[in-house]
Structure 1
Amino acid sequence: MDRLDAFKQIAAQASRGELTFPTNVNASLRLQQALNDPDCHIDAAAKLIQADPLLAARTVAIANAVAYNRSGNEISSVRAAVQRLGMRTLQSQVAALIVRQLGGQSSDPAVKAKAAQLWEHTAHVAALAQVIARRVTHVDPDTAMFAGIVHEVGGFYLLSQAGAWPGILDGDPGDWIEFGEAEIGRGVLKKLVIPEPVAQAVEAMWVGLRALPPETLGDTLLLANDLAPVPSPLQERPGATTLLGARTIDFLVGEGTLHDILAESAHEVQALFAVLML
């Protein structure tokens, strides 16, 4: 089948909600839905996470990571980890798990390499978005990090489908942007029940326009994407700043500049990136 026809078929399926997720992703989706319930409290969340030994171990490891363990006091229980991280951070980490599970299904070395690079890109964008939100645009940092985690979820879904659609990753990378990214991405975002403000910010990525200085969540995400040191392996976004050009982006922020803020925040960005790469 022609590659463009494949994009169109997958996009049509996504728009109808006919998405095929692996079993482990479906289990994580059920966990995410439970955590999104405002009546889900710490004890209930801890029990849900303890039901998955790998997720339980990961949650404790994240809680003990430098980004969330400023005191240096290590903890060993899931409940204590959930308490330290808080529900919003926990929701972001479960979203990160879902995204990585989508990209980690293939046994094809080429697909696995693309998934690994796409996740590394995603982790950089999420970490940068959190810091840019807090220090520059003053939108909610947790929401910005969450948006960074899910901003390439359509691409991860594409990678998960590569085995069923031979040749879909070949050819001009621009085809993905023109014929697949937005349509498939919208379907996956809807399936994951992504909050509307985050979905709108991801839509801004597909439009590719941002203001400088950045103001909105979409601007925050676009700037973080431009500044990420690892690019997406699926495409080069039209009009996106090159990595060389990204290093020249600067503007006044209060009494400082973007360069100053990023230099001051380099350790924080690296700590958040390290958590997402666990």
Structure 2
Amino acid sequence: MDKLEIFKTIAAEVNRGDLVFPTSVDSSLRLQKALDDPDCHVDAAAKMIAADPLLSARTVALANSVAYNRSGNEVTNVRLAVNRLGFRTLKAMLASVIVRQLNSQVKDPALKAKAAQLWEHSAHVSSLAQVIAKQVTKVDPETAIFAGIVHEVGGFYLISRAEEFPGLLDGEPATWIEYGERLIGRGIMRRLGIPESVMQAVEALWHGVCAFPPESLGDTLILANDIAPVLSPLHNNEGDKIARFSRRINFEFEDGNFQDVMSDSEEQIDSLTAALML
């Protein structure tokens, strides 16, 4: 079976809803569903998160990051962390856990390295997107974080299937962009219940056309992706680098200068990226 046929096979599975997820993802999806319940109380959410040591650590770390700890007062338990973050940020953080769990059963060292680099890229994009949303485009920063976390979810899923289909991720990215992102990526996002506005922003990233100055969630995601210091391993070829670096331009917007804003926000970006990388 050639690579195109492999993509079509996986895309057909995704469209039928026949997704191969680790059991840990199913558990996290159940928690996500519980958090979507408007009657879910902070105490109940904290109890569910506390049952997972890794999730607990990430929740507290995120609450203590510069982005969410303006006062400098550290929280030391899950309930206080949940209270500080709020459910919307908590669901974005849970999405980061789900995305990373997609590759929890990968054994091949090269694929594990790709997954690690893809998550590092996603964490940087997510952190940059929050600052760009707050300071430049004035879209909801929590939605921007979430969009950054999930924008490569199709790539994580294909890495999780690559041991089953050797050669799946080899070669030039043209086929990957057409099938991996636009067919498989859409199906995975639907299965994970990604809001339509976020799906549209991710699709805008696939097309890569950004307004200047940027103004939409899609523009926010494109710009964050372009300036992220770590590239996606699924798009990392010389043509991608040339296109990306040609976009690393400065511009003026209503409230100031883009490079100045990003420089002033460096500590916040680094802190949030580190919390997501745990």
Say if 1:147 and 1:202, in contact at 8 Å, map to a contact too. Answer: yes
SS of equivalent residue, structure 1 residue 103: coil
Residue in 2 aligned with 1:29?
Answer: 29
**Matches of 2:255 and 2:219, distance apart in 1:** 21
Matched, 1:17 2:36: no
Say if 2:62 and 2:275, in contact at 8 Å, map to a contact too. Answer: yes
**Matches of 1:97 and 1:121, distance apart in 2:** 15
Q: CA deviation at 1:31?
A: 0.8
Matched, 1:132 2:132: yes
**Matches of 1:59 and 1:145, distance apart in 2:** 15
Q: CA deviation at 1:162?
A: 1.1
| Alignment: residue pair count | 277
The one-letter code sitting in structure 1 at the alignment partner of 2:115 is A
SS of equivalent residue, structure 1 residue 19: coil
Q: CA deviation at 1:236?
A: 5.0
The one-letter code sitting in structure 1 at the alignment partner of 2:213 is P
Moved more, 62-71 or 196-205: 62-71
For normalisation by structure 1, the TM-score amounts to: 0.94
Q: CA deviation at 1:243?
A: 4.3
The one-letter code sitting in structure 1 at the alignment partner of 2:75 is I
Instruction: Report the CA distance shift for 1:17/1:148 in structure 2 as closer, same or farther (over 3 A).
Output: same
Aligned ranges for residues 14-93 of structure 1 at < 5 Å? 14-93=14-93
SS of equivalent residue, structure 1 residue 86: helix
Say if 1:67 and 1:275, in contact at 8 Å, map to a contact too. Answer: no
Residue in 2 aligned with 1:245?
Answer: 246
**C-alpha distance after superposition, 1:100-128 (max 9, x if no partner):** 11133211110011001101110111111
CA RMSD of aligned residues (A): 1.8
Moved more, 177-186 or 118-127: 177-186
Residue in 2 aligned with 1:201?
Answer: 201
For normalisation by structure 2, the TM-score amounts to: 0.94
**C-alpha distance after superposition, 1:155-180 (max 9, x if no partner):** 00001111211221222222201232
The one-letter code sitting in structure 2 at the alignment partner of 1:184 is I
**Matches of 2:199 and 2:211, distance apart in 1:** 18
Moved more, 224-233 or 30-39: 30-39
Residue in 1 aligned with 2:192?
Answer: 192
Instruction: Report the CA distance shift for 1:255/1:210 in structure 2 as closer, same or farther (over 3 A).
Output: closer
Q: Where do 5+ consecutive residues of structure 2 fail to align?
A: none
**C-alpha distance after superposition, 1:166-208 (max 9, x if no partner):** 2212222222012321100011100110111111111111222
Identity of aligned residues (%): 62
**Matches of 2:225 and 2:213, distance apart in 1:** 15
Residue in 1 aligned with 2:102?
Answer: 102
Say if 1:174 and 1:236, in contact at 8 Å, map to a contact too. Answer: no
**Matches of 2:47 and 2:255, distance apart in 1:** 47
Residue in 2 aligned with 1:233?
Answer: 233
Residue in 1 aligned with 2:119?
Answer: 119
Q: CA deviation at 1:93?
A: 0.6
Moved more, 236-245 or 254-263: 236-245
Q: Where do 5+ consecutive residues of structure 1 fail to align?
A: none
Aligned ranges for residues 129-278 of structure 1 at < 5 Å? 129-236=129-236, 242-247=243-248, 249-278=249-278
Q: CA deviation at 1:229?
A: 1.1
Q: CA deviation at 1:241?
A: 6.3
Q: CA deviation at 1:244?
A: 3.0
SS of equivalent residue, structure 2 residue 222: helix
**Matches of 2:119 and 2:110, distance apart in 1:** 14
